[in-house]
Amino acid sequence: KLEEVKILEIPKIEDKKGRGNLSVIEKDCIPFSVKRVYYLYDVPSNAYRGGHAHKNLYQFLIALSGSFDVVLDDGNQKTKITLNKPNKGLLIPNGIWRELENFSSGSVCLVLASEEYDESDYIRNYKEFVLVKRG
């Protein structure tokens, strides 16, 4: 369900001596243990990534640098969220179709994932996704 997609605040430690910011993700910040970390970078502005859903995987996406849009779809409703802050992340639970687009130049998308990579966890066909969701 789209209501389970959430923007979560990542604690930010602003340096008192003007040395910039530090953000940290540890227990209780996200509702799963991280088993895998990957990142998308050097993505051309006209490219899109994603275009699939996951059967079990939970993910947490952060725009470490720059910005990009995430289009989310639960089979009934769609929404678009722009990520552009390193101290806010997007929690995407299982069963949500996602497409990432409109990457700004130099943007980096960091992804924390609840499981190791498993191609059999992907639903890459939209019609199949809708059928699964609507039963």
Active site residues per annotation: 52
Element (H or E) spanning 131, and its range? Answer: helix 126-134
Residues 108-127 that bind ligand T46 (CB under 6 A): 111, 117
Beta strands at 12-14 and 21-23: parallel, antiparallel or unpaired: antiparallel
- Tell me how far apart the alpha carbons of residues 122 and 95 are, in angstroms, rounded to a whole number: 10
- Tell me how far apart the alpha carbons of residues 69 and 48 are, in angstroms, rounded to a whole number: 10
Options 8-16, 19-27, 34-42, 71-79: segment touching ligand T46 (CB under 6 A):
34-42
Among 4, 24, 35, 38, binds ligand T46 (CB under 6 A): 38
- Residue 39 binds to ligand T46 (criterion: CB under 6 A): no
The gap between the terminal CA atoms of the chain, to the nearest Å, is 14
- Tell me how far apart the alpha carbons of residues 33 and 36 are, in angstroms, rounded to a whole number: 9
Among 6, 49, 85, 88, binds ligand T46 (CB under 6 A): 49
Among 2, 23, 50, 126, binds ligand T46 (CB under 6 A): 50
Residues contributing to the site for ligand T46 (CB under 6 A): 36, 38, 40, 49-50, 59, 98, 100, 111, 117
